[in-house]
Amino acid sequence: MSDVREPGAALTANDAGQQLEAQPSPEASGVPNEVFQVRRGMFGGRGGGDTTGYGGLVRRVQLPGAAQRPYGGYFDDVADELERAYPQFAEAIERVVVDRGELTFVVKRTHLREVMQTLRDDPALRFEFSAGVAGVHYPDDAGRELHAVWPLLSITHNRRVRVETTAPDADPHVPSVVGIYPGDDWPEREAWDMFGLVFDGHPALTRILMPDDWPGHPQRKDYPLGGIPVEYHGAQIPPPDERRSYT
């Protein structure tokens, strides 16, 4: 019996105590990662006075690059079937990413609904369940600062994929998929509330966590932390957005 298990397959009792083979990182596999920002320090600290040591940290902000065939396991089967079932695959899919054991289709927003409909309805795909949509904000990813990510599950075939699309800050519109996955109603409202993603076609795109008149979208990285100064044992504690500014 083969010890190779498809990605996403459930563990069995025979797996106990066995060490799974580590997967190489995209860079080790020759797939270039896209670096669009280099962070220096932490918490926005600038200048002297920081004795934490965090000021010396340098971290690249990067997204995994496009994967090369073969993707491995059932990933190739899913990609092949989507390409067969959706004739505009080459135009719609910006890149296919395999990272940390997950398969992601990065889709142009103009093709999002059609791709999602195909993933749900095609018998060989049958991704019947969407776990919601997550917003992500990359302020330095010029022209595609806002990302929307859907984790999908095929209950029929016990497979998982992710679908991702992007939009610029200046035009934060992406199609709503509530008509395909009705359970994404509230997750789309949350992504609008927290990140400012506008889901065109949503039946009632209103705030779900913050008050209706709340200014801005709190989970964006450019959103001010706010707060007020607080006196504590005779010391003045500045608000969070000033706390690491040593000037």
Report the pLDDT averaged over residues 209-215.
93
Contact 145, 138 (CB under 8 A): yes
3-state secondary structure the chain: CCCCCCCCCCCCHHHCCCCCCCCCCCCCCCCCCEEEEEEECCCCCECCCCCCCHHHCEEEEEECCCCCCCCCCCHHHHHHHHHHHCCCHHHHEEEEEEECCEEEEEECHHHHHHHHHHHHHCCCCCCCEECCCEEEECCCCCCCCEEEEEEEEECCCCEEEEEEEEECCCCCEEECCCCCCHHHHHHHHHHHHHHCCEEECCCCCCCCCCCCCCCCCCCCCCCCCCCCCEEECCEEECCHHHCCECC
- Give the residue, 87 or 247, on which the prediction is more confident: 87
Determine the pLDDT at residue 23: 46
Average pLDDT, the chain: 83
Determine the pLDDT at residue 225: 74
Report the pLDDT averaged over residues 72-85.
98
pLDDT in tens, 4-29: 445 444 444 444 334 334 344 444 44
Determine the pLDDT at residue 218: 92
Share of the chain above pLDDT 90, in %: 63
Determine the pLDDT at residue 236: 75
pLDDT in tens, 175-193: 999 999 999 999 999 999 9
Predicted confidence band at 62 (pLDDT cuts at 50, 70, 90)?
Answer: confident
Q: What is the pTM of this model?
A: 0.75
Structural domains of the chain, ranges and CATH numbers in brackets: 28-242 (3.30.460.80)
Give the burial string for 95-115 (b: 16+ CB within 10 Å, else e): ebbbbeeebbbbbebebbbbb
